[in-house]
Amino acid sequence: MATGEAPLDLVGNESARISLSRLVVVILIGFFLFHINLGLEVNIGKLPTITVVNGSDVILPCTFASCMDYKDASFWWNFQKNKTSSAQKIIHIKLKGKKPFVTEYLDSRIVLAGDVKAKNISLLLTNVDFDDMGFYTCFFKNPQEKHQETNATLQLVVVSELLPVDNRLTILILSIVGGVIGFLILIFIIKKIVRFIIKQVGKKKKECLVNSCANTEHGHYGSKANLKSPPKA
C-alpha cells in the first residue's frame, strides 16, 4: 500500500505572493500620497467667513506650505456666488523661478497683496459691493510635487453696516470674576491683619507675664518688704 504525500499547493503559494506584493504596493502608494498631502497645504486663516461693510476694502487671506521647492508653481483664486453656481477664475499667478507674474485677472479691484517669497498669496479686494458676496477659493499647484494641487475656501459676507457687538454678558462675567477675586484678596488681607494683631497681643501678654514673675520673685519696688527696716545687729 503506497503512502500518500500531500501535494504542493502551488496555486495557494502563488496567490499569497501576489497578495503580499499588492499589499506592499498599496502601502507604498498610500505613504507617498500621505507624504504629499502633508507637504502641500493651503491655509485661509482661522475664520472661514469674513464680514465686511459695503464700500470698504478687504484682505482675502491665503498662505501656502510646501516641504519642497515651489519655483514655477501656480496660484489662482476662484469665485462662486453660491455652492451650486459655476466657479469663475478671478486671478491667476504664475511663478517664473520664484518671481510672481499675474497672467490673468477678472477685476481691476483685485490686487495681489501677499508676498510670495513669504508664502503669502492673499488678495486685496477694494471697494467691495454686494455682488462680491460669495465663496473665494485659493489654489496652489506645485510642479515640484508631481503637479499636485490643493485649495481652501472662505466666504465673504457684505453688509450695509456692522451690528454693534453686545458685550453685556462679557462685562457681567468679568465683573463677577473681578468681584470674587477682590473678595478673596480682601479676606487674605484681613486674615494677615488679624494674625499680626494676635501675634502682637500675645507678645505683649508674654512680656507682662515675664515682668510679673520677675517682680513676684524679687518684690515690687516700694512694697512693704522694701519698707521694712533692716534687722538690728
Strand partners, 64: 42
Q: How many CB atoms lie within 10 A of CB 110?
A: 19
Q: How many CB atoms lie within 10 A of CB 63?
A: 18
Residue 169: per-residue pLDDT: 77
pLDDT confidence of 155, banded at 50, 70, 90? very high
pLDDT beyond 70 at 19: no
Q: Which tops the pLDDT comparison, 27 or 79? A: 79
| pTM of the entire predicted model | 0.57
- Pairing label, strands 110-112, 99-105: unpaired
In sequence order, which residues have a C-beta less than 8 Å from that of residue 134 and are 6 or more positions away? 79, 80, 81, 82, 85, 155, 156
Cα–Cα dist 157/125, whole Å: 13
Q: How many CB atoms lie within 10 A of CB 61?
A: 20
Q: Nearest Cα to 137, choosing from 97, 98, 86, 102?
A: 86
Residue 8: per-residue pLDDT: 45
pLDDT tens digit sequence for 165-203 = 667 778 888 888 888 898 889 888 998 898 888 887 777
Cα–Cα dist 85/38, whole Å: 30
Q: Nearest Cα to 63, choosing from 138, 113, 115, 121?
A: 121
What integer best gives the mean pLDDT of the chain? 79
- Quick one: average pLDDT of 116-136? 94
Residue 34: per-residue pLDDT: 44
Q: Distance of alpha carbon 77 from its chain centroid, rounded?
A: 26
Give the rounded percent of residues in the chain with a pLDDT score beyond 90. 35
Residue 101 to residues 91, 94, 95, 157: CA-CA distances in angstroms?
Answer: 11, 5, 6, 29
Q: Nearest Cα to 120, choosing from 60, 54, 207?
A: 60
Domain range 39-159, CATH architecture = Sandwich (2.60)
pLDDT tens digit sequence for 48-84 = 999 999 999 999 999 998 888 888 899 999 999 998 9
Residue 28 to residues 19, 54, 142, 221: CA-CA distances in angstroms?
Answer: 14, 51, 21, 106
| Domain extent listing, the chain | 39-159, 165-209
Residue 144: per-residue pLDDT: 83
All three cell numbers of 146: 508631481
Residue 227: per-residue pLDDT: 46
